[in-house]
Amino acid sequence: MNKTLTRLKYLITTLTLSGMIFLPLGVFTTIAHAQAPNDISGLCSGASLSVSGGNCQDTSDSLNNIIRFVLNLFSIIVGVTAVIMIIVGGFKYIISGGDSSRVTGAKDTILFAIVGLVIVALAQVIVHFVLYNVNNTFSGGGGTGS
């Protein structure tokens, strides 16, 4: 039974780490293969973007878009890892056999995974709040609403 549990831990760790490695590669590959049509000047001007080198570029929000992309990618990785850890914690809870130390370990695994999800959600809220306020402050849009 202990050998099976060790193999299961190894399998879950391997799958989690390979997912953390290959998920960003898939995202970057998808972005790299997205091609714009040849005549995009009308599309760019209609969206208030500039045309540079055949690509639409939003010069004012490029840093914000990079920050959002990195944050979203990080959130996806942490979210997938947390869900896997919740499943692992549930499995450890089921096979604990009533041993109080193993039950406590399983509950801690689930608790830490949920705390990780809460921290990532709060990070999303804080970063979006800061980016929104920085955009309004520097673009002159930050007023009292009247």
N- to C-terminal Cα distance for the chain?
69
Q: Where are the alpha helices (DSSP H) in 52-94?
A: 62-94
- Give the Cα separation of 102 and 83 in Å (integer): 20
- Give the Cα separation of 79 and 117 in Å (integer): 6
- Give the Cα separation of 108 and 93 in Å (integer): 10
Q: Is the pTM of this model over 0.85?
A: no
Closest CA to 54 of 39, 42, 34: 39
- Give the Cα separation of 87 and 31 in Å (integer): 31
pLDDT value of position 50: 54
Tell me the mean pLDDT per 10 residues along the chain, length 146. Answer: 69 65 55 49 54 56 79 88 92 91 93 91 88 76 50
